[in-house]
Each structure stands twice: as C-alpha cells, then as structure tokens.
Structure 1
Amino acid sequence: MFRPLVAATAAALTVLGLVAAPASASPEPASPRPIKTAPAAPTAPDEAAQEESAAAAQTLRWTGTDDINSYGEAPTTAVAGETTIVFENNESTGNTTYMTHTLTFDTSTPGYNHDVSLNITANPLDGNGGLHEATVTLTPGTYRYYCTVQGHSQMAGELVVTGDGGGEDTTPPTVTAEVTGSQDADGNYVGSATATLTAADDGSGVDTVEYQLDGGAWTAYTEPVVVNAVGDHTLLYRATDVAGNVSEEGTTSFSVVEGGGGEDTTPPAVSAEVTGEQDADGNYVGSATVTVTATDEGSGVELVEYEIDDTGFHPYTEPVVVTDPGDHAVQFRATDAAGNESETGSVPFRVVEGGGGEDTTPPAVSAEVTGEQDADGNYVNSAVVTLSATDDGSGVASVEYQLDGGEWTAYDAPLTVNAEGAHTVLYRATDVAGNVSEEGTSSFTVVRTDSTAPTVSATVVGEQDADGNYLGSAVVTVTAEDEGSGVDTVEYSLDGGEWTAYTEAVQVSGAGAHTFAYRATDVAGNVSEEGTESFTVVDDPNQDTVPPSVSAQVSGNQDADWNYVDTATVTLTALDVDSGVASVEYKLDDGAWTEYTEPLSVGVGEHTVWYRATDNAGNVSAELSGSFTVVEAVNDECPNSDTRATVFIGAENTYVANRQTANGCTVADAIAQDDWYRTHNAFVRHVKRTTRELVEAGVLTPRERDIIVRAAARSDIGGNTASRV
C-alpha cells in the first residue's frame, strides 16, 4: 500500500552526559574521536561505582553527512537492554553544508517494534554542536529508523535486536495457519481460499515467516496468501527467530472449487479517477488523489492493485495520494474470486508544487534574545526570545520553537526563559504553500543573581456586620513586591480551587466561609510562600433582590398590513431603581444572546426579538419577546416621499400616523398638499376623496379621516396660496 513516511510525534530526547560502553558491548566499531561530555562534579568512589553500574549496556552510533539518501554510520544489530543512542551530525562526520538531519524510530509501520519513541534533530550549529544522545531500552525484534526532514526519505534502515546475550535463545518460534473463505456443503472453498499465518517468539523475536504452496519454492510471508486455482492444495509453513532457531514445518490442506459452479469467466470492471486542485493547465497543485473502483457481478471482487510509475503493484485499500512534483501514471487492475483478472488500466497526470509552482521559497525566520546581561554576556535572571518570520510569497502560516530539546510548540508571543543554566532554542517557520524554513538555533545562558522570593500580601474589604461578616460580598486585593528581578506573576486560589492568574481585585459574593490563598513568583523564578485570608460572606438584608424592568419598541415605516417596510428599528429600554442597570441583552431569531449598546436595525423577514436586563446586584429580568415582519418596498412611486412621523396639513400637525399606503408612498404623499389646486374647496374635495379611499384600504380609521379633513378645511391651501411649510 502506498504510504508516505510519517514522522514520529515523540519529543526529541537529549542527554547532556554520556558514559561510553566498552568496545566489546557495541556491535559497531567505536569512533576514534573523544565523545563530548558535560562537566560533572567530582564523585566519591562509591558514587562513581553506582554511576558505572547504571550505565547503558551498549552504545549505538549514527552519523549524518552531506548525503540526503543515507546516514554516514548506522548499526545493523544490537542486543536487548538499556542502550545509549548517539546521533552526531556536524563537520567531523562529513556534514560540510550545515544540513539538518533527524534520527527517528518508526512507531507505526506494521512488522516492526514500536516500543521506542525517538526523534532526535541535529544540526552542526545547534547548541550541542550537532552531537545528541538518548537512553532507551531495546527489546528483541526489528526496529525501523528514518529521517523526517522533507526530501530525505531515503535515509532509512533496520536495526535487528537479539535477546540479551544473543545466544541464550534456543527455543524456536511457534507458527500457526488459518484458512478462511466461502465454503460449500462439503467444506470446499468456493472461488478462493485465504491462508493467514501467525508466528510468535518469546525469546529473540520472530525474524522471518515462510510458506510453500503445493511443493513450490519457499516464499517469504508478508500478507495473507490467496489461492484461487481450482483443485486440492497443500500449504507448508515455518518461522525463524532472530537467534536462528527454526520451527517445525506446519501443514494445512484444503480444496478450491469454481465459484458459482464455474459460471464466472468475466473479469471485473475497474476504473480510476484523479481528483485535486488544478491550475489553468490542468496540473494538480500540491498533490493528486487517485481513487480506484472495481465491480464484479459474478464471483465478486477479490483483489484490487495499483502501481505508481512502474514501481511495482501493491494492494489497493484506500485512495492513493501522489505529492512529488512531475509527470506520473498510476496503473490499476482487479481480480475476482474466480481468478479472472482485468486488463491493466492507467491514468496519467502531472503534479506541480503548491501555489501553482509560484512559491517554492521557504520563509525567512530569525530570533532575537534580549535581557540584562553581565560582563560575560550571560543573561541575568531571565532572557526573552522574540521570533520573527517573513515570506514574500504565500505568506507565513506558522512559527514554531523548541526549547532545550522539548516538543515543538507554536510561537505566539515572546518566550521568557528564567531557568538557570545553558539553553538552546530551535525555531522554524512554514508558509501557506507548505515550504518549511531551515531550523535556526540560538544559544544563551541564564545566571541567577536573585535568590530572594517576592513579598506578597492580601487585604479584604467590604461592608461588615457586627460579627465581622461581609455583607453581600467581599473584595480581596493582592499586592506583591520584589526588589531583585521583579515580580513576574501573582496567583490566587479560592476555596481550594485551581491557581489562577491575579490581574485585578477579586470579588467573592457567595454566602459562606471562604479561604483565599495567594502567592507570587519573580522573574528569576523564586516563588513566595503561600499566604491565606479567611473570611465569611453573609446575605445583605438590604440587598437589591428585584430585577430590572425592560421593554422593547419597534419603529419604522409601515404598510397597510402593519408590516415594516425595508427595515425596522428595535430600541430596548431598561430601568432599575435600586442598584441600577448593569447590562441589557437581546437575541434576534435563533441568534446568540448579544449585549445591547444601540438601537438594532433589522432587515426583511419575519422576526422575533428576545430581550432581558441585569442589574448591578446580579438580578436578571424575565426573558421577554416580540414578533414583527419587515417587507421589501415594492415599486417606489414616491422617491421623495414625505416620511414625517405624522401627517401635517400646512403647518398644522394632525398627530395622525403618516403610514405607508402602497408602492413606497405615505398618507401625506396621497394628500399631496404641495400640488396646485384651483381653489381651496378643490383641495378639500381632493382630501375627502383621498382619505375615503385610504379608509377603504384600511390605512386610516374613520376618525383619523375626520381629523385630516377638518384640518384641510381649516387650512388656506388652494388657489394662489403657497402650501409648502
């Protein structure tokens, strides 16, 4: 199965000191160079003996060079037990280009030991000069190792580990076979039979499993054996462990008969589809995914296979992803349970680099270390590492750092390092197109001159009763000082809860007894002793327990059906006569509760608005709601509409609502007092006729019509009198 190499997720393990094992304990020749060791304090003879007895049983060494296809040195065998892994990648091992390599143990590929999680990154310019060590425990079996750096996937190998002592395992493996498949009434397998072999060895571990079908050659067993030839069959099988012990040969016999009574002579139908993001030329950007589909109406599909660029067929189990830029062809075929094999199909395509090939340049990333320094350049009490990355192509997607061999961590703010000692920060950046920068490194030393912890105190204030209890709530204020490196953080814990960063005074309002613990840490990492304040909060008899009142008003132009035209404005009002209103919230339709800060403009549709208010004492009003509909204005025949809230006749306000009539016009537009009328009576007759029509349309009530008509009669509009006001 096509499977891209996947990097192990374990953090890199780095040990500063190394105790070299005797040459006879290592399966590879020891390096003639002295191995770098960290300075150590003198030890007493008995302490030195204890350290020597605790040393790893063997040392295995890998090296990196300028080659991206293989390690310079790499062991092939080892014995089980505690082992020191040495990985060196610098000029002395042949790396003159300052290239980064990794040494990673595979923890996912079937068939290998997965009990060692190791991922060491080494660069000649890192804080250890490219020399890194780790202590692991190896068990019998085979380990696969490889390099995770992009483009270095050919750097891989296997390490065979025998049992402790190598020659103590004299017991051969156990091996069994299971035959499965569809059977007829006589126990014959219909169309095909599948033989699965299983081997185990408690000593040095299983090395190989083999089988022999019908007197043929012994063949390495790597996956279940499918037998679809009609007839009687005999399968022999055996296993060999790492120590060379071979099991007794096992045997199983079975018969295969034609599927469907011999009626299926038609091979399966098989096809493939290529998908992915394409550029203007039809090239696949970044990757192409090939999905193979096979069907068989006879005995059924037994096996689907594929190969990429004539590299050999593999069983197809999932869509195949091709990421290497260039021209490719995926071949595919299928076999049914009766043994019929399809013609081999092929799909050609081209993959170009992400971003259409435009961005192939990784980001530029740099680090700056700041802080107070002594005469030797050491950072006093703490150092601050600031990372910067730029990318002129697709842009920076992420920046990461690794502190002192720990896990890679997303960088989002300057990193403060206050632990005393030498430190190394590795850093890298990735752009949107997936290009990863070379790993940068910055090394520095932090020395501590401040060994005095901060002083920290707390005060509790609030209204108290005669017994000293706090009425309603108590407010705790924490103060910290440090004359050395300065206060870094202040924390508190209420009633045994989690420690929380203190940023402002803490109000405690729950009735009952409380314990407030607090502490402070300075920049040098010194932590104060924990202080505590104990107090009791009781209910305030004069406390505000009445929630606020809250109301909503919807306004806007309305049509004859009382729908709002184009938009409606929702205005919320809240009142609390005791502690005062703290907040007002609303929820429109199925939306989330939102703080109300200004009138809300609502567009076309049927709507329900929910609203509530909270006072400063924490009382919350009942949730209220109101529904309304906003419709879209149709055929606006009055683009310069009179949209005053009420109807005016001349200068007189009738206080009748100036509602929408139809087609974007209002009652005032229909009255049209600004038009020219031959006489005053002509204007009054026009008003009577128009308002009668509006009553019939349901826009005005009869009483509202009477008010407007009387106002028109009192006016001086008509004849030569100007009516505009």
Structure 2
Amino acid sequence: MRRLIGLCAALLLLVGGLASPARAAQTLTWTADDGITAYKSAPATASAGETTIVFENSAATGNTTGMPHTLTFDTSTEGYNHDVTLNILANPFDANNGRHQATVTLTPGRYRYFCSIPGHSTMVGELVVTDGPGDPDTAPPTVTASASGTQDAEGNYVGTATVTVTATDTGGSGVDKVEYALDSGSFQAYTAPVAVSAAGSHVVRYRATDKAGNASAEGSLSFTVVEPAPDEDTTPPVVNHTIAGDQDDDGNYVGTATATLTATDDDSGVDRVEYSLDGAAFTAYTAPVVVSAVGMHMLHYRATDKAGNTSAEKMAHFTVVPAEEPDTTPPAVAAEVDGEQNDNGAYVGRATVTVTATDTESGVARIQYALDSGAWLTYTGPVVVTGLGAHTVRARATDAAGNTSADRTVTFTVVGSGSDACEVPDPRPTVVIAGDDTGVPNSDTGDGCTINDLIDEYAAYPTHAAFVRHVETVTAALVAGGTLTKRQQGTIVRAAARSDIGS
C-alpha cells in the first residue's frame, strides 16, 4: 500500500511539473440589510483575475422590510479602475430571493462601489486588488503591525497607543482573516485599529490566513503606554463635512458641488485639516472645495491637532451632473381662421380662430388671446366670432421659464348670409338660454336674425367655456352696434355661464 501511495504521489508531481492545474476563480460577497447607511458586509481586498461577485440582500442577511439596494461599480471617478461594469439590483422579493451573482475580471488597482438608489448615498466603499499568480496559492500572507499616537521623549505612548494591523496576500487567493492577541489574551478577529490605553508595557501578537488556508508566522509588537500629564492633549480633533449646491430629484448636484470641512479640538486646538479628492494626494484644506467636473466623486479628509493627534480618516461621496442652459427662447405661436367664405374672402355667419403654441425647452405654460380691443383672455379652445364686421384676434404664449412670445395677429371679416341668414328667425320675445329667461328683449340684429339666433344655443360647442366665449363675442359686437347695453350683455353672459351647454 505504501508503495502504491508513493507511486501515486510521484505521478502527481510529474503531472504537476508538466502543467499547473488551473486556479479556481475567487468569490467576493457583499451583503445588505434594512439599513441605508452601509453595506452589512463587504470585502476590502482581492486578487486580480476572474472573480465571482455575489450580492445578497435577503431575509437571510437581515432584510426584513423588502428594502432594495444595488451593488454598482463606479466607472467614471478619477483614481479608480473603470474596467468592470456591474450594477446589480436586489431585494428579498425578486426572482432570485435577493441573491445574485456575476462573473467579472478584476485588474490590479482600486475599485469604488456604491448603492445607486437615491437616499442610500453613504453605502459606498473601496476594493483593493493586487496581482495574483496563475499557480495555486502556497504562499502565506504578509502581515505587519504598527503603533501610532503621541509619544514622549523616551518613545512611550502618552495616554493611548493605537495598533494597526495590515495584511496582504501575494499568492493570489486573498486575505481571509486577520487576528490579534493583546498581552496574554487569546487571539481574536481584527476588524479595526485597536486602542490600548492601560498604562504599562504591552505586547500585541498578530497573524493572518489567506483563502487558500496558508497561515503567516506569528508577529509581535511591543510598546509602552504611560499616563498623560494632567494638561496633556491625547484626543484627536473631531472633523465633519457638508456638501452644498443645487440638487436634482435624484440628489445629484447640478453644475457644481461645494464641500466644506469643519474641525474642532477642545484641548490643544486644530493644527491642520487635509483632504484628498478622487484619489489624489492629501492637501491642506484652506477654503471650501468647489467641484464642477461632471461625474461621481470621493472625498477623503482628516484633521490633526497641535499636540499631533490625527483623527480617523473619513469619506464623503457625491455626483455632479451638467447644469442645464437657461431657457431664453419664447414659444412659437400660430393662429388660423376657419369657416365658410364668400367670393371676397369674408367669413359667412361666423369665423373660428384656432391658436397653437410650441416650446421645445421649458414647455408652454399658457396661451392668451384678445378679440379686437378687448382684454387678454386665457385660450382654452377655438374662438368662435359671429359679430358682423372686421375683426382682429391677437394671440401670444408664455413658457414655463417666463418667456413671452411676440403677438401673433390675424384679421378677418364676418358678413351675414343675406336673405339666407335666418330663414326661420327665433321669434321669442326675450333672450332665453337653455330655458333661462334673461328678460332682455330678443331684438332683430339687422340681418333678419334675432339675438337668440346669434347665440345659437343648439349648435355644437367643444366645451362649455367655448360656448360662453361665443356668447361674450356675439354680445360684445351687439353692444358696439348699439343693440344691447353693457348691463344687458352681462345678464345674457351670466345666463350662458349658468347653463350646461357644451358640457
């Protein structure tokens, strides 16, 4: 049996020397829950090469409300890789029950990812990708540790020492876990810098394991923490940001976004504030940062006090979209006259004026017209003019930006149809509209037609408002000709308004 095992092992070594087995593609997993401020979990590092991306936003990951999220890779912000297009929308009630996956190829560098749903703007992070060999990963991760904080002349840390553990994996599979142990304590997962404030000598042990199961050698870091003097500053500043500017409905900043950083320190005072925009080097913050470049942006910032304490680095991200050019062009207006015409071009009995307006920018807000010397009225439908004689209709339009067109004018003449105007005149003694007796005498208008004939209550009207405007036009001409008084006109128009003709 031992000879058989040895023979098989030798055969495997021979085959391995001839052709290396293909390395399995890595899998990176993001999860989300009911929160809208951060992903529940997300990878920080990966190796270059083919990668399976898993995004799960389900009941299993803590989403109990059906809140949707996306996992979107940034393809425009400077300083990041833009070679992966990924935009996964997931919620617990979709066809995949909130679990989706895609296969992509990652290259060395940094990727920025975020949730694109409005209001979820703080769900953002970075993925660092390192080179990965094509052979199986047999190399353990490299892990280091460093302490930071205010030190005295002997190198002791005053008040607090903050230990940061960093692990990288060049073997290709990526770091799986990092652990640390303080003094004689047991190893535990390292997820963030460890602050040690107990006075005395300390030892932090640390180690890392990659996804292929390779474990690093255990490292150690020794340091001493001493009590600060009563008036010694060991507390870093507090630093925050605000982003200002005009925003659209999706929360994007239109034209420009202005980032303002503020820092406070109650002990020694703020010494400096620094920022990095879109992966650039940190630079001193002296005034609000105005960003007008179109696209998504990431702002990193920090503050240091006069005692040398530096705050944790913070981030903000935002998107700038192009500003629209203001609308300074008025609408285009057209007016057309329609009706039966005689040989001289005059309109027999009535003329109908139709006004149209178009605006390709902010859109038409209102259309108005004026008949002869009358006031401007809101145009809601074709205007029917039956008063005999020459007429002028002016029309204009205003767009949503407040631009008003020049007046568009049409002129025309309305004539009676002679003996055929009203072969059977309406003989009622008073003007009656839909059974409403106005008490105004139903006078002959001079061409064989009575006022009731001109009102023409039994004709077809597109709307009730069109009928009322028709009555206003007819009676206005009769007032001008002396057939009616203004008071009588008002009585007739009110009766028309009370009716349901055209409704």
Is the TM value for this pair above 0.5?
no
Normalised TM-score (structure 2)? 0.30
Considering Cα pairs closer than 8 Å and 6+ residues apart, tell me whether 1 or 2 has the greater RCO: 2
Normalised TM-score (structure 1)? 0.23
